[in-house]
A and B are shown apart, each in its own frame.
Chain A
Amino acid sequence: MNDVPWLTVLWVVPLLGALATAFSGRTGIPARTVAVAASLVTLAVGAVTATRFDQGEGGWQLTETHTWISAFGAHYALGLDGLGLLMVLLTVVLVPVVLVAAWRDTEDDRNGAAFFAWALALESLSLLVFTAADVLLFYVVFEATLIPAYFLIGGFGRAGRARAALKFLMYQLGGGLVLLGAVIGLYVVSARAGEPTYLVTELAGLDMPTEAGRWIFAGFFLAFAVKAPLFPVHTWLADTTENATPPTSVLLVCILDKIGTFGMLRFCLGLFPEASEWATPVVVVLALISIVYGAFLAIGQDDLLRLIGLTSLSHFGFIVLGIFALTQEGGSGAVLYMVNHGIATAALFLLAGFLIRRRGTSLISELSGMEKGAPVLAGLFLVAGLATAGLPGLSQFVSEILVLIGAFDYHWLAGAVAVTGIVLAAIYVLWAYQRIFTGPARAEQAAGERLDDGVGSGTTAPSATEAVATRTAAAPADLDRREVGVLAPLMLALVLFGFVPGPLLEVANPTVEMLLEQVTPDDGPTVASPEEAGH
Chain B
Amino acid sequence: MEFTKPTIEYADLWPLILVLGVACAGVLVEAFAPRKARYLAQTLLAGVGLAAALAGTVLVGTRLDAVEGARGLIAAEGAIAVDGPGVVLWGLVLFFALGGVMLFAERRLEGGVSVFAGQAAALPGTDAERQAEGRGLDHTEVYPLLMFAVGGMMLFSVANDLLMLFVALEVLSLPLYLLCGLARRRRLLSQEAALKYFLLGAFSSGFFLYGLALVYGYAGSMDFATISDAIGNDAANHDLLLLGMGLMAVGLFFKVGAVPFHAWTPDVYQGAPTAVTGFMAACTKIAAFGAILRLFHVAFGPDRWSWQPTLWVVAILTMLLGSALAVVQTDVKRMLAYSAIAHTGFLLTGVLGVQTATDLGSGEVTSVQAVLVYLAAYSFATLGAFAVVTLVRDAGGEASRFASWTGLGKRSPLVAAVFALFLLSMAGIPLTAGFIGKWAVFTVALSADAWPVVAVAIVSSIIAVFFYVRFILLLFFTEPTTTTAAVNRPSPLTAVVVAVAVLGTVGLGVAPDPVLDLLADAGSFIR
Known: A180-B439, A180-B458, A184-B454. Contact between A154 and B473, CB under 8 A? yes
- Contacting residues, chain A, for B436 (C-beta < 8 A): 69
A51 to B476, CA, bound (A): 43
A216 vs B430: C-alpha distance when bound (angstroms)? 20
Q: Given known contacts A140-B435, A191-B360, is B462 in contact with A173 (CB within 8 Å)? A: yes
B393 within 8 A of A: no
Answer yes or no: B477 CB below 8 A from chain A CBs: yes
> What residues on B are CB-neighbors of A173 within 8 Å?
427, 429, 462, 465, 469
Chain A residues 127 to 185 lying within 8 A of chain B, measured CB to CB, are: 139-141, 143-144, 146-147, 150-151, 154-155, 161-162, 165-166, 169-170, 173-174, 177-178, 180-181, 184-185
Interface of A is mostly: helix
With an 8 A cutoff between CB atoms, is B431 at the interface? yes
Contact B477 A161 (CB under 8 A): yes
Q: Are B462 and A184 in contact (CB under 8 A)?
A: no
Q: Is the CB of B458 within 8 A of A181?
A: yes
Binds B, one of A81-89, A192-200, A353-361, A453-461: A192-200
A207 to B465, CA, bound (A): 35
Q: Write the chain A residue with the least CB distance to B436.
A: A69
Using Cβ atoms and an 8 Å threshold, which residues of chain B touch A141?
Answer: 430
Q: Which of B430, B461, B520 contacts A140 (CB 8 A)?
A: B430
Task: With both chains docked as a complex, state the minimum distance between the C-beta of A245 and any C-beta of chain B, in angstroms.
Answer: 14
Structural contact, B443 and A184, CB atoms closer than 8 A: yes
Chain A residues near B478: list those with CB within 8 A. 162
Asked if A162 meets B477 with Cβ closer than 8 Å, knowing A170-B466, A196-B364, the reply is: yes
Cα separation A72 to B462 with both chains bound (whole Å): 23
Q: A140-B430, A166-B470, A173-B469 are in contact. Are A184 and B363 (CB under 8 A)?
A: no
Of the residues B361, B512, B513, contact of A194 by C-beta under 8 Å: B361
Residue of B nearest to A215 (CB): B451
Known: A71-B365, A143-B430, A180-B438. A174 touches B469 (CB 8 A): no
Contacts of A380 in B (CB 8 A): none
Chain B residue nearest to A166 (CB atoms) is: B473
| Binary interface encoding of chain A residues 34-73 relative to chain B, with 1 for a CB under 8 A from any of its CBs, else 0 | 0000000000000000000000000000000001111111
Inter-chain contacts of B442 with A (CB < 8 A):
180-181, 184
Q: Which residue of A lies closest to B509 (CB)?
A: A140
Cβ–Cβ < 8 Å partners of A140 in chain B: 430-431, 435
- Whether a CB of chain B sits under 8 angstroms from the CB of A187 is yes
Which of A72, A139, A169 sits near B430, CB closer than 8 Å?
A: A139
Does B446 touch A at the CB level, under 8 Å?
yes
User: Are the C-beta atoms of B465 and A162 separated by less than 8 Å?
Assistant: no
Does B520 lie within 8 Å of A162, measured CB to CB? no
Judge whether A144 and B430 touch: CB under 8 Å. Answer: yes
A68 to B513, CA, bound (A): 7
* B2 contacts partner chain A, Cβ-Cβ < 8 Å: no
Bitwise interface map of B from 440 to 469 toward A, beta carbon under 8 Å scored 1, else 0? 001100110000001100100110011001
Say yes or no for A188: interface residue by CB 8 A criterion: yes
Contact B363–A70 (Cβ < 8 Å): yes
Number of residues from B at the complex interface, CB < 8 A: 39
Residues of chain A contacted by B516 (CB below 8 angstroms): 69-72
Contact B454–A187 (Cβ < 8 Å): no
Residue tally, chain A, CB below 8 Å to B: 39
In the complex, B517 has a CB within 8 A of chain A: yes
Main secondary structure of the interface of B (DSSP, over half): helix
- Contact of A162 with B473 in the complex, beta carbons under 8 Å: yes
B319 to chain A, nearest CB (A): 13
Shortest beta-carbon distance, A483 to chain B, in Å? 29
Structural contact, A188 and B362, CB atoms closer than 8 A: no
B369 interface residue, CB < 8 Å from A? yes
Chain A residue contacts of B470, Cβ below 8 A: 166
Contact with B along A248-270 (1 / 0, CB 8 A): 00000000000000000000000
Q: Looking at the complex, which one of A71, A178, A185 makes contact with B513 (CB distance below 8 Å)?
A: A71
Question: Which B residues touch A147, using CB under 8 A?
Answer: 424, 429
Give A140's nearest chain B residue, CB to CB: B430
Contact A165:B477 (CB < 8 A) given known A69-B516, A70-B363, A191-B360:
yes
Q: Is the CB of B430 within 8 A of A71?
A: no
Contact status of A71 and B477, CB under 8 A, knowing A174-B462, A181-B454 = no
B469 & A166 in contact (Cβ 8 Å cutoff): yes
* Contact indicator B439/A144 (Cβ below 8 Å): no
Q: A70-B517, A72-B365 are in contact. Are A177 and B458 (CB under 8 A)?
A: yes
Which chain A residues lie closer than 8 Å to B462 at the CB level? 170, 173-174, 177
CB pair A71–B438 under 8 Å, yes or no, is no
Inter-chain contacts of B458 with A (CB < 8 A): 177-178, 180-181
Contact status of A170 and B465, CB under 8 A, knowing A71-B365, A71-B369, A196-B363: yes
Residues of B with C-beta under 8 A to A67: 513
**Residues of chain B with a CB closer than 8 A to A150's CB:** 469
Give Cα A191–Cα B360 distance, bound, in whole angstroms. 8
Which of A174, A184, A191, A192: most chain B CB closer than 10 A?
A184
A154, A170, A181: the one contacting B455 at CB < 8 Å is: A181
Specify which chain B residues have a CB less than 8 angstroms from the CB of A146 in the assembled complex: 429
User: Which residues does chain A contribute within 8 Å of B520, judged by CB atoms?
Assistant: 71
Can you list the 3 inter-chain pairs with the closest CB atoms, starting with the nearest? Answer: A140-B430, A71-B516, A162-B477
Residues of B within 8 A of A (CB): 360-365, 369, 424, 427-431, 435-436, 438-439, 442-443, 446-447, 454-455, 458, 461-462, 465-466, 469-470, 473, 476-478, 512-513, 516-517, 520
Instruction: Name 4 extra pairs, CB < 8 A, besides A139-B430, A180-B461, A188-B447.
Output: A68-B513, A154-B476, A173-B469, A181-B455
7 A-B residue pairs with Cβ-Cβ distance under 8 Å, sorted by A, are A71-B512, A146-B429, A177-B465, A184-B439, A191-B363, A195-B362, A195-B363
